[in-house]
Structure 1
Amino acid sequence: MGVGEPRRAGRRLHAAMLAVALAVAPGPAAAQGAGGGDGRALRVAVDVGHTLAAPGARSARGRGEFSFNLALADAVAQALRDRGVVVQVVNADGGIGSLQDRPAEAATFGADLLLSIHHDSVGPQLLRTWEWAGRTEAYNDDYAGHSLFVSRDNPRVAESELCARVIGARLQRMGFVPTDKNANRPYADPELAVHFYDGLAVLRHATMPAVLFEAGVIRNRAEELLLADAGYQARMADGIATAVVACLRSGRPAGEAAGEAR
């Protein structure tokens, strides 16, 4: 077998795994109690990134990231509920005490997955200024698209990677385009824009599989408008929910999933 053959074989297994997982995913019409392999209803904690006091990145038009995160988290939660998933929205009021409180709340809830919702920005050295609504704001139109992150310090990293990959595959199948903006972070899967970010507290302190999703770049003036659109949020949420249910219902042992994914 040539040097490139194991890599090609791994990609074929990877593609087959994603196709199977997505094929078994129910849509909203199948909301009669989405369950795991043991028949128990799936439980997902959807975390709203940042807080009211520390709202995260600022958009090209001066809107705080937290409000984008909350809107998409609500849409994802509803899409999951439409599929029979039991959902806990973490930090819905924007007043959570610490980063460690997020996975702790998910654990108390008994979540099968913690999904943390965020929106991306760019470094200050890449920003340009423009006038919007009588204010000087900062933007960058060079980067757009989503990305996903998992931590190798998470005890369920193989399942975290699998869910991140299935989300990435589903979104690309729907026409959403990932970004290469975060290429400085090591890749778990470059084709699906899944990165390792081991130090993220919300991921590494989680005792369940955990994925952080960056929905897009709110410093990009055109993408900001898309990300603020309720219809766009609903469509993205539908893709995420389909993928999450597919991943959690796949019932594959973590070791088997990890072996096929590599």
Structure 2
Amino acid sequence: MIFAMAAMVLLPIEVSDAGWLSDVFKGSPKEAKAPKQGKPSKHVTSRKRAALTKPAASPKRRTIRLAALGPVGLPSAAFKPAAPLCDPSKLRVVLDVGHTVESEGAISARNVPEFVFNLHLAKRIEEKLKAEGFAETKLLLTEGKAKHSLFKRVAAANDLRADLFLSIHHDSVPNKFLEDWEFEGKKSHFSDRFSGYSVFVSRSNPDFKTSFAFAELIAKEMKAQGLDYARQYSQPIMGRYQRELLNKETGVYRYDELIVLRKTRMAAVLLEAGSIINRDEELRMSSPERRDIISSGVTAAVKAFCEPRWAMLGPL
């Protein structure tokens, strides 16, 4: 309303200049450069006086810069400078390889530990990011059993002062959905009922806004690559594994309790790249082609995060 009232006062503004005003309403206040406060210059004041006394002002006199809006009583927050633009060579992305050798995570339909899938995909993402100029990308491998290793990886990411934290995983299903079968003479389990990727964020993360923005970018890139997200997490049949779906178009879920998301001091996202308990999807997840698709999507998401329009999300 303040901007609109000020615009009405400055009616002699040319149409080409007034287009800037619509951009103010569309964008974040942080994107607007703060005008200098205080009294308007004599030059601008004289032009205003001339506009009032001469109805048929020349185009030169009618061209009043919107910097004249400076004296209007705007909130100080409107002039908060945008965060520094992201420098790819300095952006520190930590790629957390989910699970450990001692705590392997889920077991695939063909008896391959999740940790193996996670490691191969994380390494491919690291290669792609570094090839795109993100030289500070770090691959995080931890040791130890379950919960202890979770706190170790959080501490490592915090010590590295990472800007973005991405934990790489591959999905399974609750035990009640598992079916028995044999693969190469060994008993195993599978569930072909569900498939797809999913992206998780925690509202307990100290920078949830940026976490969610980064998660959205990853999910949109996965979708753009022709992949579908796992829809079962929003369904009551999942019981205690049911999660709030924050974006039904892309597959971003809320999972507040995940240690690696809520204890890290930077924006943090967990990606379940696909289901390895689904026999068909397991084969796809094992292929270099699928790893390339996913790593390309993640790399595109990091690049998009680094563009100027994302600077409003906070300092990197």
Q: TM-score, normalised by structure 1?
A: 0.80
Residue in 2 that maps onto 1:83: 132
* Cα shift at 1:52: 0.7
| Preserved CA contact (<8 Å) 2:97 2:122 | yes
Distance 1:179 1:132, change over 3 A: same
Cα deviation, 1:151-198, whole Å, max 9, x if unaligned, reads: 000011000000101111111111011110211201221211101100
Larger gyration radius, structure 1 or structure 2: 2
2:114 aligned with 1:65, yes or no?
yes
Residue in 2 that maps onto 1:10: none
| Preserved CA contact (<8 Å) 2:86 2:311 | no
Residue in 1 that maps onto 2:282: 224
Q: Distance in 1 between matches of 2:224 and 2:176?
A: 33
Q: Distance in 1 between matches of 2:274 and 2:143?
A: 20
* Cα shift at 1:103: 2.3
Structure (1 or 2) with the greater helix fraction:
2
The equivalences for 1:1-262 within 5 A come to 37=85, 39=87, 41-85=90-134, 86-91=136-141, 94-95=143-144, 97-183=148-234, 184-249=242-307, 250-254=309-313
What is the one-letter code of the residue matched to 2:140?
V
| Preserved CA contact (<8 Å) 2:103 2:144 | no
Q: Distance in 2 between matches of 1:235 and 1:98?
A: 29
Residue in 2 that maps onto 1:25: none
Task: Select the structure with the greater relative contact order (CA < 8 A; seq sep ≥ 6).
Answer: 1
- Matched position secondary structure for 1:226: helix
Q: Distance in 2 between matches of 1:228 and 1:172?
A: 19
- Matched position secondary structure for 1:253: helix
What is the one-letter code of the residue matched to 2:311?
R
* Cα shift at 1:38: 5.3
Distance 1:130 1:38, change over 3 A: closer
Residue in 2 that maps onto 1:13: none
Q: Distance in 1 between matches of 2:143 and 2:286?
A: 18
Q: Distance in 1 between matches of 2:201 and 2:232?
A: 16
Q: TM-score, normalised by structure 2?
A: 0.67
Q: Distance in 1 between matches of 2:209 and 2:86?
A: 20
What is the one-letter code of the residue matched to 1:226?
R
The answer for unaligned runs of 5 or more in structure 1 is 1-15, 18-35, 256-262
What is the one-letter code of the residue matched to 2:217?
V
Q: Which piece of structure 1 moves more, 222-231 or 96-105?
A: 96-105
- Matched position secondary structure for 2:109: coil
Distance 1:65 1:38, change over 3 A: closer
Residue in 2 that maps onto 1:4: none
Q: Distance in 2 between matches of 1:55 and 1:248?
A: 33
Q: Percent identity?
A: 38
